[in-house]
Structure 1
Amino acid sequence: MVNVNSQGHLSIGNCDTLELAKDFGTPLYVYDVSMIRQQLRHFHKAFDKTGVKYAISYASKAFAIRAIDQVIAQENGHLDVVSAGELITAVQAGFPMEHVSFHGNNKSLAELQLALDNHVGTIIVDNFYELELLNKLLPQQKQPVNIMLRIAPGISAHTHRYIQTGQVDSKFGFDVQSGQAEQALKQVLQNPKLNLRGYHAHIGSQIMAVAGFTALVQRMVQLAATWQEKFHYQPQVLNFGGGFGIKYTNADHPLAPQEFVYDMIQTLKKEIAQTNLTMPEVWLEPGRSIVGEAGYSLYTIGARKIIPGIRTYLSVDGGMGDNIRPALYQAEYQAVLAARPEATPTETVTIAGRYCESGDILIKDQPLPESTPGDILAVLATGAYGYSMASNYNRVGRPAVVFVKNGHAKLVVKRESITDLTSLDLNYL
């Protein structure tokens, strides 16, 4: 469903998309800030009804810029980061660092030092090498360092194999099945410089059903209870990760946040009641489900190629450089003409990007009304993993980013210029 203004144009945050394209150029990422806030509030409201202590930690890898970190902070969210770049973005945004957690399966010594220097609230430890690196830094710390252990629980989510993360054969976390997770737990508990807050697991992304999450809750509680008996350790926090699906096309039927939260917490209460554990604080890490549907990509239509009886290609001025997901793992999207989003389609076209790859196809077989060069095409639900995965392939600059709300538009990321693109080059001769 799209919003249409009195001129019949696509409207985002009460801003006319044709005017946005005129004022800021294309390609352009546009975010409806009210939708972002609303989605965060849905998560908060769902948890508030449960009576369980919790934290909503925005997975900033979905979209990491200062402006979004500031919105998350205003909505009482936490933040998870996975690199020095995302960490410094949070620092520059003024985000409260005690509410930041640091992820990653190959953190460097320098990144860990940066996290400690900036007083990151929790480091989520992924492997034994990371424990070794931390041990090199711990003697300099006056207070114990807060960590969580990321475990691979052996649960495979029903999603694309590229975005499954909780199965046994995963690059992430300490494997439970082989005994690695228990070995790591013993190491941490023996180190007085480490304060173990609890356990973390993540089973995948773009998940539409709650069954994988309730299975994860059961598995985590069982592990926590077993390890409590063996090591007398009570986790303060159980972090069940994120991965909640969104609607990209009419074929997607995601659950609302409150449905995920309700089923997970009911399962948690039932499982905890059967153990000697006390109720832990629950953390979730939504990313895509916070920003995905709030984001749109605006493009200008250019060339048309008609192959009679086979296909019509409609090319736009962006593509895989600003949205790699269709080429990377066959992600699907829907698009509308910004000037006539509700017009009856008269043709089916394939939306092709401008980049020099045959795989640079944004949407296959998109029904659209008739269009001409210069028309503005809006691709829906591009708010997650568009800007954050954007590249400079073909030496094309990354698009600008605009936040809109109540009819006002604010530029929050400038468009990359050719000067920006060549600023790091050095002469050879």
Structure 2
Amino acid sequence: MASSAAGPAWLRVPDDANALAQHVWPARTHRDADGRLVVGGVTATSLAERFGTPLYVVDETDARARAARIRTAFERAAASVGTGATVYYAGKAFLSGAVVRWVTEEGLGVDVATGGELAVALAAGADPVRIGFHGNNKSIAEIERGVAAGVGAIIIDSEVEIERVADAAARAGRVQRVRLRVNSGVHASTHEFLATAHEDQKFGVSLERAAELGERIRSHASLDFLGLHCHIGSQIFDSAGFAESAERLLAAHAELARVAPVPELNLGGGFGIAYTSADEPAPIEEIALGIAEAVARACRAHDVPVPRLAFEPGRSIIGPAGITLYTVGTTKPVPIEGGWRHYVSVDGGMSDNLRTALYGADYTVRVASRVSEEPPALVRVVGKHCESGDIVVDADYLPHDVAPGDLLAVAATGAYCWSLANNYNHVPRPPVVAVRDGVARVIVRGETEADLLARDAGLDAVVGGEASDRMSASVASDSEEGATA
């Protein structure tokens, strides 16, 4: 390969292109004596041989530990200011039956945003009382399903939903607990936030109308008003934005509390993770305490009791616990100003990780099948799709001799990668495998080309029977494999 150019300003040239930044990878991820990546006690090479690539891999022990740590952090922080805390897992990050069981067994509730997510949570055995139901455009049918299931809270996202939820609850003969989503005017990301007077977005109602709409909710006998809800952003590294948002919300909260008790304040989620070695989010214990202290200060200022606090982490639980494995197909050096960029093409792409194309997200990549003493080369890991923006890892360093057939691992892909997966170019979505204590098992079956053909009604007369037979055989095979894993 030709010599490589300088990478982006944040990316440091590593002394060793095989090294693993421990805060980026699942806990206890390491290389064995042969240089192979080991996650959850299973080598990456054995996972690729058994399940193929691309492959989503989630370390169950790591995910459970993060869920427990976050719950404990918020419960202790809340207790320090004289209240309690409820933590919901934000299912949009990645939801499956196995994940629902993991987080609920670790003491968390589940936050869902669609009827489909609600169906998964209920089917997996989540206690309906510990489910929060979000969504800016919940259908009447979805609202009725949530009420009938007995979900613990429906988050009202707009004025029109007040009447819809009240009517559904009245017809069902129930009193439905609800929260009101409010825009505080605080926008946060990483360690920065911007506070404005208004927000121009599809979610929630304006802060100025919070007290008015809260009273409207109280006017319905079929609704039980829990309190206000706010979500200020994603990938947030400290507590400053949450503190500012809480102080703003507490003014409306206090106005409502002077009329009748407001038992809860839900400050949402958005806690950031390390995607690269340059990312350094504050410890969750520090963030939790900073938020709790800010709420307590605001409550003292408004002379109201400190409400129970609620939070909705998702990415910070499942994101770092996941990796994705790919096989290198081609490599090519491309001349750029100052040197060369090495394009490394893999067998997946924007169908299994859309975040780089959608958000310009950065990731960390390492060769997972071996180590090399070659010097680092600047690479861009790209997919197989017919799209110039099909980038998995925009910039990182791999050993200079990275070559076709190498197995690559991309870190911190547990959140939003499977959730956003698609069939662009008719590429089947990969399976998800959980690893724990040296054992691997399928928790979401992958798709086959037969699955794609079976959905195409225009092919029914030509290959319908054959495609259906192949699909059934594929599903049976995957089920058998998962059962024996």
Q: Shorter-chain TM-score: what band?
A: over 0.9
Q: Decide whether aligned partners of structure 1 residues 420 and 167 sit closer, same or farther in structure 2, where only a CA change above 3 A counts.
A: farther
| Greater alpha carbon shift after TM alignment, 145-154 vs 358-367 | 358-367
For residue 422 of structure 1, report the CA deviation from its aligned partner.
2.5
Q: TM-score, normalised by structure 1?
A: 0.94
Paired residue secondary structure (1:63): coil
**Contact 1:148–1:196 at 8 Å: present in 2 too?**
yes
Distance in 2 between residues matched to 1:210 and 1:345, nearest whole Å: 39
Find the counterpart in structure 1 of residue 443 from structure 2: 412
Deviation by residue 1:85-131 (Cα, 9 ceiling, x = unmatched): 10000111111111000001111111111111211111001002222
Q: TM-score, normalised by structure 2?
A: 0.83
1:373 aligns with 2:404: yes
Find the counterpart in structure 1 of residue 331 from structure 2: 304
Find the counterpart in structure 2 of residue 107 from structure 1: 138
Distance in 1 between residues matched to 2:122 and 2:394, nearest whole Å: 40
Q: Decide whether aligned partners of structure 1 residues 56 and 270 sit closer, same or farther in structure 2, where only a CA change above 3 A counts.
A: same
1:358 aligns with 2:388: yes
Find the counterpart in structure 1 of residue 18 from structure 2: none
Find the counterpart in structure 1 of residue 110 from structure 2: 79
**Contact 1:321–1:390 at 8 Å: present in 2 too?**
yes
**Which amino acid letter does the alignment assign opposite residue 348 of structure 1?**
L
Find the counterpart in structure 2 of residue 263 from structure 1: 290
Q: 1:169-184 maps to which residues of 2 (within 5 A)?
A: 169-176=200-207, 179-184=208-213
For residue 423 of structure 1, report the CA deviation from its aligned partner.
2.4
Structure 2 residue runs without a partner (length 5+): 1-21, 23-28, 462-485
**Which amino acid letter does the alignment assign opposite residue 243 of structure 1?**
G
Q: 1:328 aligns with which of 358, 370, 395?
A: 358
For residue 342 of structure 1, report the CA deviation from its aligned partner.
7.6
Distance in 2 between residues matched to 1:371 and 1:356, nearest whole Å: 23
1:247 aligns with 2:278: no
Q: Decide whether aligned partners of structure 1 residues 341 and 54 sit closer, same or farther in structure 2, where only a CA change above 3 A counts.
A: farther
For residue 166 of structure 1, report the CA deviation from its aligned partner.
11
Find the counterpart in structure 1 of residue 454 from structure 2: 423
For residue 210 of structure 1, report the CA deviation from its aligned partner.
1.4
Distance in 1 between residues matched to 2:265 and 2:246, nearest whole Å: 9
1:185 aligns with 2:185: no
**Contact 1:157–1:166 at 8 Å: present in 2 too?**
no
Paired residue secondary structure (1:423): helix
Distance in 1 between residues matched to 2:152 and 2:394, nearest whole Å: 44
Find the counterpart in structure 2 of residue 20 from structure 1: 47
For residue 400 of structure 1, report the CA deviation from its aligned partner.
0.5
For residue 288 of structure 1, report the CA deviation from its aligned partner.
0.4
Find the counterpart in structure 1 of residue 154 from structure 2: 123
Q: CA RMSD in A?
A: 2.2
Q: 1:63-212 maps to which residues of 2 (within 5 A)?
A: 63-158=94-189, 168-176=199-207, 179-212=208-241
Structure 1 residue runs without a partner (length 5+): none
**Contact 2:68–2:107 at 8 Å: present in 1 too?**
no
Find the counterpart in structure 1 of residue 248 from structure 2: 219
Larger Rg: 2
**Contact 2:85–2:310 at 8 Å: present in 1 too?**
yes
**Equivalent residue pairs, number:** 424
1:399 aligns with 2:426: no
For residue 278 of structure 1, report the CA deviation from its aligned partner.
2.0
